[in-house]
Amino acid sequence: MSRTLYRWSSLALRKMAEEISKAEHRSSPTTAVAKSRSLWPSVLRWIPTSTDHIIASEKRLLSLVKTPYVQEQVNIGSGAPGSKVRWFRSSSNEPRFINTITFDSKEGSPTLVMVHGYAASQGFFFKNFDYLASRFKVIAIDQLGWGGSSRPDFACKSTEETEAWFVDSFEEWRKAKNLSNFILLGHSFGGYVAAKYALKHPEHVQHLILVGPAGFAAESDGKSEWLTRFRATWKGAILNHLWESNFTPQKIVRGLGPWGPDLVRKYTTARFSPRYSADNVLTEDESRLLTDYVYHTLAAKASGELCLKYIFAFGAFARMPLLHSASEWKVPTTFIYGVQDWMNYQGAQEARKQMKVPCEIFRVPQAGHFVFLENPDGFHSAMLYACRRFLSPHPDDEPFPEGLQSA
C-alpha cells in the first residue's frame, strides 16, 4: 500500500506552509474575512470569532444553496447513558448540541446523513446539497467539537475514549432525531468515524459511503520503513515532537490573532486553485464565503481537533485500524476516491478482500481528496450509482457512469 495513505495529518503543517508559499505568487482579491479586521468588534478580540460568527458564516455560505433547509442545534444531553464517565470528559452537566441542517426533500426519499472530515465542517458540502437534496433527504452535521456544534473541553486520554467521543455523541444525535435505516456518508476522518459507528451500530445504517477515508492501516503492518527513515531526519524529529505534543494547524491560526483570516485566505486560495482541470474549483464568491466560514470554524475553541494523536500515530497510522475490522463489516459499503487523492484507494482494496458484504470502489477523475468540491458532477454520478438500489426500481439495469473508474 502506498505510504501516502498515512501522511495526511502528520504533514498538514507542511502542506499549509507550501500552499501558502505558492499563493504568495498569485494575486487574489481582498476577501470579506480580511476586511472584517477593520470592524470595531474585531478590534476588541485577539481571535475575531465566536459561535455566533460560525453560524452567521455558515448561513452566508449556504445562501449559495437554493434548496430550503432548517438549521437546528440538536440536544444530545450531558453524557452517554450508562457511562460512568461522560464522553467529553467534563465535570459539567451542561447539555451539548450537534449543529444540524436538514434540507427539504420529496416524500419517501432515502435519508442521507453526511459527516465532514478533520479541520472541516458540514458547509464543505455546499456544492453538493442542491443535487443530492433532489434525490435524498439530506441531513448534514458538525461533529461534536467542530463547526457550530458544542465544543467541550477535550480531555480524552486514550483511543477508546476518543472514538467514544465521536461515535457515542453521534448515536445520541441519532436518537434525538429518531433516525434509522439511513445511508451514512463520511469524508476523510469523518469516514473513519462513520465506519466505526457502522461497526458498533450496523442496525441503523443501510449503506455506508466512505469518501477518501482515513485510518485503514497501522504502523505495525510492516509498510512504514519510510517513516522510520523520516523520523531520523531533523524535519521528522520536529514533526514527531509536534505530533506528540498534540500541536494542530488550528493553533497557528489562533496564534496569529487578527492576522489569522489572511492566513486562511491564502491557504484556501491555494488549496482550491485549479489542479486537475482547467476550470476553477470555486467562483470568486464561493471562495470568499468558504474562506470566511473556514476561518471561523478553525479559529474557535480547540475541542474535537485534539483527537488527532489518540486516533492516529505519527504518520497518520491508525491506532485501531479499520483494515483489522474489515472481516466484521456488516453494512454494504461504497468507497469513493478522487483519482489524484493522496488517500490511496489500495487500502480499500485490501479491506474488501476480507469483507463479507457487498463492496464497491469508485475513482472520480479530475479530483483529489476533496472530490465533492473538485469534481462535483463526477462525485454526484458516483453517489447515484452507489445508491442505485435505493433510487432505481431496476438497479441492476443502471449503466455504469461514463468517466467513473471502478477499482
**What are 61-109's pLDDT values in tens digits?**
999 999 999 999 999 987 766 665 454 555 567 789 999 999 999 999 9
Cα of 244 vs its chain's centroid, Å: 22
State mean pLDDT over 305-326: 88
Does the pLDDT at position 231 exceed 90? no
Residue 140 CB contacts under 8 Å (≥ 6 apart), including other chains: 100, 101, 113, 114, 116, 122, 125, 129
Confidence of residue 3 (pLDDT cuts 50, 70, 90): very low
Higher pLDDT, 366 or 223: 366
CB 309 within 8 A of CB 244: yes
Which of 83-97, 150-164, 282-296 has the highest mean predicted lDDT (pLDDT)?
A: 282-296
Number of H helices, E strands in the chain: 17, 11
Strand ranges (DSSP E) for 253-369? 312-313, 317-318, 333-338, 359-364
Instruction: Express each pLDDT in 15-74 by its tens digit.
Output: 444 443 443 343 333 333 333 333 444 444 667 778 889 999 999 999 999 999 999 999
Site of grid cell 465544543 = 151
Does the pLDDT at position 406 exceed 90? yes
Q: Which three cell numbers stand for residue 132?
A: 443530492
Does the pLDDT at position 14 exceed 70? no
Exposure on the CB side of residue 392, measured as CA atoms within 13 A: 13
The ranges assigned to domains in the chain are 56-220+307-406
Bridge partners for 209 per DSSP? 185, 334
Which of 15-24, 37-46, 153-162, 241-250 has the highest mean predicted lDDT (pLDDT)?
A: 153-162
pLDDT at 32: 31
Say which amino acid occupies 222.
G
CB 9 within 8 A of CB 118: yes
Domain spanning 56-220+307-406: CATH superfamily: Alpha/Beta hydrolase fold, catalytic domain (3.40.50.1820)
State mean pLDDT over 329-358: 94
Higher pLDDT, 99 or 224: 99
The Cα–Cα gap between 75 and 163 comes to: 20
The C-alpha torsion from 316 through 318 and 319 to 321, rounded to 10°, is -170
pLDDT at 15: 44
